[in-house]
Amino acid sequence: MTVAVTLDGDGAMTETRGPCADSHVGPNLVLDPKTVAYKDHLAIGIATATAADDASLVSAVTILVNKAYAEVESDIFKPGYERTTDAEVAQLIRDGHLALATLHLDHPRDAHSPSSLPPVKHVVDGEVVGCVHIKRRSPTLGNFAMFALDARFRRFGLGTRMVEFAEGHCRQLGCTTMQLEVLVPTWFEHANKIRMQAWYQRLGYSIVELRDFGEDYPALIPLLAGPCAYKIFEKPLV
C-alpha cells in the first residue's frame, strides 16, 4: 500500500533541520516542519499529532512495520505475530514519538553528492517509506525502536539517514547517549540479526548489556518460537 502525503511550511529544504519546501505545501500537515531534515529525495520528520487521524496513513505505517519485521523475525516468533497495530501507531503519532520518512521526487538533490534514490518503479511522490519510534528514556538517554524501511529502498543509505535523524532529534532534546535494543534468538544464529548488529556497530554503537527477553517481557513469552535475549547498544552523542 502507498499513501501520498504532503509537507506544509515554507522556505527551502536543506540537509539540516529547517522548514519544508513550498512545492510540498498542502492542506494536511503530516510532518512537523520544525523537525524536518531533508537530503536528496528523502524527507524525515516527526509526524504531527493530527496525522494520527488519517486512517489510511496509520494503516500504511502499520503494514510497513509488520512487513519489515516479518522479514527478519518470522522465525523468532510463532506464526501470526505482528510487531505493531494501528492503535499503537496512532498513539505514537499523537505522543510525538514517531518519525516518518517520505520520498519527494521533484526536489533537487544535493549537487555535491550522488543521488541515493534507487531505480524503483511505481514510486509515489510523498510515499511513506520508513518510520522510527524515538523517545527520551531519561534527561540524557535517547532511544529508538520500531525502525522499519521499505525493502525496495534498503542498501541506498536511507536507513543511515533515518538513524542520524533519530540521533539528532534526541541530541536537540539534551540527550548525550543514544540507545537501541536488538532481539536475538539463543537457540540458533540468526543471519539477519548478525548483519543488523554489524551495521549498528559501523554506525558507532557498542553492546553494553545482554538481557533475558522473557524475563523482562514475560507477556511475550507465549509468542516466541524459542528462548531469546536482547542486546542493548549505546552510542555517545557528544
Binned average pLDDT, 10 residues per bin, the chain of 238 residues: 34 31 40 73 90 95 97 94 98 97 68 49 78 98 98 85 96 98 96 96 98 94 96 98
pLDDT (0 to 100) of residue 17: 34
pTM over 0.85: no
Residues 6+ apart with CB under 8 A from 223: 77, 78, 81
Cα→Cα distances 222→75, 77, 164, 218, Å: 14, 9, 35, 8
The burial of 215, by beta-carbon neighbours within 10 Å (0-12 exposed, 13-18 middle, 19 or more buried), is given as exposed
What is the architecture, at CATH level 2, of domain 22-175?
3-Layer(aba) Sandwich (3.40)
pLDDT (0 to 100) of residue 24: 31
pLDDT (0 to 100) of residue 225: 97
